């Protein structure tokens, strides 16, 4: 119940395309869903986050879509750029219980 599933494991997108990464969870106690971006050899950095009382949150080219009934949420990166090439982690938490997905390695081709 504590697991967060994430797909795909890796993703290759052309510059200007849309990158979509999906996550799913089981524990309905989770009430905070952040996405982190990690470049090689660096620590993860918070990208965008959402709470289950909204279905969508947009910040620049990054959008989280949240489906509470399906217990799924996804990250959409519009107009993907080579600089977006990184590993993306979804996470789910309640209180101090933080569970991370296994990550998606995104490569954006120039």
Cα 88 to Cα 92: distance, rounded to the nearest angstrom = 14
Binding mask 8-37 for another protein (x = CB under 8 A): -x---------------------xx-x-x-
Out of 49, 61, 81, 107, point to the residue binding another protein (CB under 8 A). 49
Q: Which stretch binds another protein (CB under 8 A): 53-61, 64-72, 77-85, 92-100?
A: 92-100
11 versus 17: smaller Cβ distance to another protein: 11
54 binds another protein (CB under 8 A): no
Cα 72 to Cα 81: distance, rounded to the nearest angstrom = 25
42 binds another protein (CB under 8 A): yes
Q: Are 22 and 6 in contact (CB under 8 A)?
A: yes
C-alpha distances (whole Å) from 2 to each of 7, 53, 55, 97 are 17, 21, 22, 9
Please name which of 61, 60, 71 lies closest in space to residue 33, comparing C-alpha atoms: 71
- Where along the sequence are the contacts to another protein (CB under 8 A)? 6, 9, 31-32, 34, 36, 41-46, 49, 89, 93, 95-96, 98, 100-103, 105
């Amino acid at each position: 119940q504590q697991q967060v599933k994430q797909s795909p494991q890796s993703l290759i997108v052309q510059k200007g395309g849309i990158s979509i990464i999906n996550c799913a969870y089981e524990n309905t106690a989770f009430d905070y869903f952040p996405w982190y971006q990690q470049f090689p050899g660096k620590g993860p950095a918070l990208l965008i986050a959402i709470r289950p009382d909204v279905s969508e949150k947009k910040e620049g080219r990054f959008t989280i879509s949240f489906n509470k009934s399906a217990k799924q949420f996804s990250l959409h990166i519009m107009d993907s750029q080579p600089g977006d090439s990184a590993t993306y982690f979804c996470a789910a938490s309640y209180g101090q219980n933080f569970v991370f997905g296994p990550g998606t390695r995104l490569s954006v081709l120039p």
